[in-house]
């Protein structure tokens, strides 16, 4: 029984960053002073964590390749995010590529960030969700067999699972989990 438990696959919620965890500004968000965590996010993450989900951020950050900001700028925003949310995020992946400059299998709608996290954390895609605010987020999840939830202003009749924000998505995810 103990050996079975060691090899059991884990569950995770993958989270897009801009527009899900922090306020979407319509432009690149890379200055910590302008990085604003969305209302309800700390509570949403706590709900998911209490229900046994790993919390993994997967974010496109093309501004790095475009020379608009540095990886250190993004990491400073991620530190602010972690601090605001009680350091509950298990991992933060970023794809710095941009299609106009280079090919990138990590950049959503491709799925390399998700694939790396699935392998690293021994996660079962069937037990996972991805919460994103753009169709490309949902497309990346689908490539890995992960269900997606679209949140925010783009969640208007375009996807089967839609919620206004991460807090409602988290509450819904927890309600979908089978009871032991």
C-alpha distances (whole Å) from 61 to each of 41, 69, 99, 132, 178 are 20, 9, 12, 15, 35
Report the 3 state secondary structure along the chain: CHHHHHHCCECEEEECCECCCECCCCCCCCCHHHCCECCCHHHHHHHHHHCCCEEEEEEECCCCCCCCCCHHHHHHHHHHHHHHCCCCCCEEEEECCCCCCCCCCCCCCCCHHHHHHHHHHCECHHHCEEEECCHHHHHHHHHCCCEEEEECCCCCCCCCCEECCHHHHHHHHHHHCCCC
Percent of the chain scoring above 90 in pLDDT:
74
Catalytic positions are 16, 18
**Is 1's pLDDT higher than 50?**
no
* Other CB atoms within 10 Å distance of the CB of residue 100: 8
The answer to whether the beta carbons of residues 96 and 62 sit under 8 Å apart is: yes
What angle, 0 to 180 degrees and rounded to 10, lies between the N-to-C axes of helices 41-50 and 166-176? 20
pLDDT in tens, 53-71: 999 999 999 889 888 999 9
> Residues 103-128: pLDDT tens digits?
567 889 989 999 999 999 999 999 99
| Alpha carbon distance 172, 180 (integer Å) | 17
Domains, the chain, ordered by start: 17-127+143-175 (3.40.50.1000)
Q: What is the mean pLDDT of the chain?
A: 89
pLDDT tens for each residue of 131-170: 999 999 999 999 999 999 999 876 666 667 899 999 999 9
Q: What is the pLDDT of residue 89?
A: 98
């Amino acid at each position: 029984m103990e050996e079975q438990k060691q090899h059991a696959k884990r569950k995770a919620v993958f989270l897009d960053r801009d527009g899900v965890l922090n306020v979407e500004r319509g432009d690149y968000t890379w200055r910590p002073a302008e990085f604003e965590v969305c209302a309800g996010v700390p509570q949403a993450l706590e709900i998911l964590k209490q229900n046994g989900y790993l919390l993994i951020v997967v974010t496109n950050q093309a501004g790095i390749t475009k020379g608009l900001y540095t990886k250190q700028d993004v990491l400073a925003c991620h530190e602010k995010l972690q601090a605001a949310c009680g350091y509950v995020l298990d991992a933060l992946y970023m794809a710095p590529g941009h299609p106009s400059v280079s090919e990138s299998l990590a950049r959503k709608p491709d799925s390399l960030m998700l694939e790396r996290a699935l392998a690293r954390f021994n996660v079962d895609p069937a037990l996972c969700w991805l919460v994103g605010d753009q169709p490309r987020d949902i497309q990346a999840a689908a490539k890995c067999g992960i269900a997606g939830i679209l949140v925010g202003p783009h969640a208007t009749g375009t996807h089967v699972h839609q919620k206004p924000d991460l807090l409602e998505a988290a509450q819904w995810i927890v309600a979908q989990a089978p009871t032991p």
